Amino acid sequence: FRFGRHFESPLLWQSIIMIITMLLMLKLCTEVRVSNELNVKRRSFAALQRHQLAPSAPPDASYLYFDLNYFWHWSKFTDYVQCVLTFTGVTGYITYLWLDSSLFVETLGFLAVFAEAMLGVPQLYRNYQNRSTEGMSIKMVLMWTSGDTFKTVYFILNQAPFQFSICGLLQVFVDIAILLQVYLYSHYPQKPVSHTAHPASTKAL
């Protein structure tokens, strides 16, 4: 996005730090999930079929398939890195080809910042499913809200591209919605809604 529409360096560094932080968290979550997982079958982002690996390869050898039920639920952190690098390479090449299109650049910027703004939505949805916020740190949510608020004010005051301000406000609204859930479910406990278990639900990071 920055190649097509230049914005302040602090925002660029903030994005880079955010990506590095998320990758480190993803590494930790992957290690914890795999160590607690009963299913030992190796699931990989890019691997050869068992018969291509070796005729005598064990039954639990890696497979190359893109089952959406297990997408982003791989067994090693390197698989996530490969996926991120592949995505970066493909989108980078497309951006290079369409860099002169203002519509593409503005859309790319919106999708990029919108993805960051949606980081709290899975937690919001999980709270709604469980009808509870038990185990959540209220201090952590308050830090989210204050950080996102200050960030959004910075966007507005420094006249950052409109995508930053719009998605920043959206992120603040999501944080406030989670805080409302904390208040609602703590003062008015609700009966959890039973829902069918999903194959990948126990593997969610």
Domains of the chain and CATH, by start: 1-42+75-100 (no CATH), 101-187 (1.20.1280.290)
pLDDT tens for the chain, 205 residues: list them. Answer: 888 888 888 888 988 998 999 999 999 998 888 888 766 566 777 654 444 444 454 554 444 455 667 788 888 898 899 889 999 999 999 999 999 999 999 999 999 899 989 988 998 999 999 888 888 888 888 998 999 999 999 999 988 888 899 999 999 999 999 999 988 888 777 665 555 544 444 334 4
**3-12 pLDDT tens trace:** 888 888 888 8
- Nearest to 25, CA basis, from 88, 119, 159, 151: 119
What residues contact 173, with CB distance under 8 A and at least 6 apart? none
Residue with tokens 């944080």: 175
**51-93 pLDDT tens trace:** 444 445 455 444 445 566 778 888 889 889 988 999 999 999 9
- Nearest to 204, CA basis, from 96, 126, 99: 126
- Give pLDDT, residue 91: 93
User: Do 201 and 126 touch, CB atoms closer than 8 A?
Assistant: no
Tokens of 112: 């990029």
